[in-house]
Structure formats: C-alpha cells, structure tokens
C-alpha cells in the first residue's frame, strides 16, 4: 500500500467503526438478553424457595397437629362404631328369618320375549319381515328388467 492511501483507509476504518456503532446492535442485544435471563432466573429461584418454605410449613403443621388429632378421633370413635355395628347385626338377626328362599320368578333375568308373549314385539317383527320381502321382490324385478335391457342392447 502506498503512503497516499493511508488517509483513505483511515477514513474507511472510521466510517466502518461509526457504522458499526450506529447500526450493529448485536452486542447490546446480547447484553440485554443476558440481563433479562439472569433477572428471570433470580426471581424464579426466590419464588421457588418461598414456595418450598411454605410447603414445608404446611406439611409440618399437618404432621404435628392435624394428623395426630385425626388419628386420635378415629381411634376413639372406632370402638363406638364397632359396638354399634354388632348391636345392629344382632337386631337384624332377630328381625330376619334364618333362611330366605329366593323366588324364582323374581330372580329371573329379563330376556328376549318368547313368541306369543309380547304381541307388540311380534307385530313389529312381522312388519319388518313383510318390508324385507317387498324389498327383495323389487330387487329381483329390477334385476330381470336390467337383464332384458342388456339383451336388447347387446347386439
């Protein structure tokens, strides 16, 4: 390079530096993004720590007070409940006979009605069968007409 090119090169370097400072914002954006991420992480860490402390306090409170009192109440009422169940069982034994014969008519499961038992069902099924026969007859007639049509136009 020649000595006369130095001012032009210096001007070009100065122009590029000015352009870089004015229009190249990557460094600033990267710094802001890093700052934003650090802020979010710090806030999140503190909120998670607070939530863990609150959860621990709630668990301690329940383990030390609520659960023992619930167990104590259940134990105290269990004896009374057991005696009440025994008493009611004895009363039921006095009221109910020793053995109960099941009635076969009451225990029969409902099923498909037998022919002649349900006239509405039989009427419905007869109507369906009649419609089916009519459809089959119409189908056979259409097939015959189509065969005749094919025979006429075959040649």
58-92 pLDDT per residue, tens: 888 877 888 788 888 877 887 888 888 888 888 87
Provide the pLDDT for residue 55: 83
pLDDT at residue 113 is higher than 60: no
How many angstroms separate the CA atoms of 128 and 115, rounded?
A: 15
How many angstroms separate the CA atoms of 1 and 12, rounded?
A: 15
- Residues of the chain with pLDDT > 90, as a percent, come to 11
How many angstroms separate the CA atoms of 26 and 32, rounded?
A: 10
How many angstroms separate the CA atoms of 50 and 62, rounded?
A: 18
pLDDT at residue 54 is higher than 70: yes
Ranges 2-16, 53-67, 87-101, 111-125, most confident:
53-67
Tokens of 27: 């460094």
């Amino acid at each position: 390079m020649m000595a006369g090119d130095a001012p032009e090169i210096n001007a070009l370097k100065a122009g590029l530096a000015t352009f870089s400072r004015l229009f190249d914002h990557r460094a600033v954006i990267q710094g802001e993004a890093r700052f934003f991420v650090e802020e979010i992480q710090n806030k999140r860490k503190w909120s998670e720590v607070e939530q863990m402390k609150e959860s621990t306090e709630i668990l301690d409170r329940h383990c030390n007070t609520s659960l023992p009192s619930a167990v104590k109440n259940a134990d105290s009422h269990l004896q009374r409940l057991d005696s009440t169940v025994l008493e009611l069982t004895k009363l039921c034994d006095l009221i109910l006979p020793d053995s109960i014969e099941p009635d076969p008519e009451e225990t029969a499961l409902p099923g498909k009605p037998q022919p002649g038992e349900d006239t509405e069902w039989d009427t419905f099924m007869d109507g369906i069968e009649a419609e089916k026969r009519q459809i089959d007859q119409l189908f056979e007639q259409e097939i015959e007409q189509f065969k005749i049509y094919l025979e006429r136009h075959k040649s």
